[in-house]
Structure 1
């Protein structure tokens, strides 16, 4: 029984090593997606998009209408295989994740013409860098817990509370004094 487990464990290890060592199929990684930089922005920021999907010398038309920026052009970039474009996120953009799309056109060849690639853009109200730089304010004022306090915000309520405590203390002292003398209540 023990030998059977040892052999089956070895067979599983060899099979797993063969699967892990096998090359990934060519379709596992898409050729040239849409790179969005920066991928997280605040309204009124400029965004750069880049792709290699349109081939050398190709162009593309970008669509950022999901975030309210409309269309923009992607032209050959610094590297011949890249097409690059820019758009500005409108000041009225709401927080959320938006899909930015580019559709290849131009002289990129018939294989890439009309090819469409997409990338995600995240819009936030405040950037994480700006939020980290701002000092946090210290709390001020009274905390409304429902418990009350001797130095509350209303001096009339404070005086009434002190007077009620004084009357209760005087009454309690008078009752204890009568009890100690043997007087009946």
Structure 2
């Protein structure tokens, strides 16, 4: 019985020691994670507590500071900034420092010439070496359709004879 009590006490102490370390960690979520110059970026974190706010720093990309305020999502602070038009392609660290507790969290923002969520539509044609089944000549098209119709009628006639038992 004492062995079980020691095991439970040891487990409880391990959990109690781990909780503060887990509660102190957090990350800064950056959306979209890839943006183009001039784009709007939203950041949020749950590291600042239920009613926490934070000061964000996007100076690495040239956007300066911004405010993160409590959001409608319980326990999260959210803020926005705009990527300057002069931003160069690369990966930048965005930092948020919680108002209470001096906790600091970071997230990465990738600047690309075009944003990842913008789809580029293909243009032009591609040569694959495979031609079309039907040509542009109406006489050849009519001849092909006639040949297919005769083959279908002949196959149907043969199957009908076979079903009656006449043989082929």
Structure 2 residue 105 is matched with structure 1 residue 117 = yes
The Cα offsets for residues 108-158 of structure 1, whole Å up to 9 and x where unpaired, read as 4xxxx211100000000012343x43324569xxxxxxxxxxxxxxxxxxx
Equivalent residue for 1:35? 29
Q: 1:129 and 1:49 mapped to 2: Cα distance?
A: 17
Of the three residues 131, 135, 151, the one matched with 2:122 is 135
Of the three residues 29, 40, 47, the one matched with 1:46 is 40
Of the three residues 86, 92, 97, the one matched with 1:92 is 86
Equivalent residue for 2:53? 59
Equivalent residue for 2:71? 77
How far residue 92 of structure 1 moved from its aligned partner, in angstroms, is 0.7
Residues paired across the two proteins, number: 109
> Residue 30 of structure 2 contacts residue 44 of structure 2 at CA under 8 Å; is this kept in 1?
yes
SS of corresponding position for 1:58: coil
Per the normalisation by structure 2, the TM-score is 0.58
Q: 2:66 and 2:73 mapped to 1: Cα distance?
A: 20
How far residue 58 of structure 1 moved from its aligned partner, in angstroms, is 1.2
Moved beyond 3 Å, runs of 4+: 25-30, 136-139
Structure 2 residue 95 is matched with structure 1 residue 101 = yes
How far residue 28 of structure 1 moved from its aligned partner, in angstroms, is 7.7
> Residue 24 of structure 2 contacts residue 47 of structure 2 at CA under 8 Å; is this kept in 1?
no
Residues 30/138 of structure 1: CA separation in 2 closer, same or farther (3 Å cut)? farther
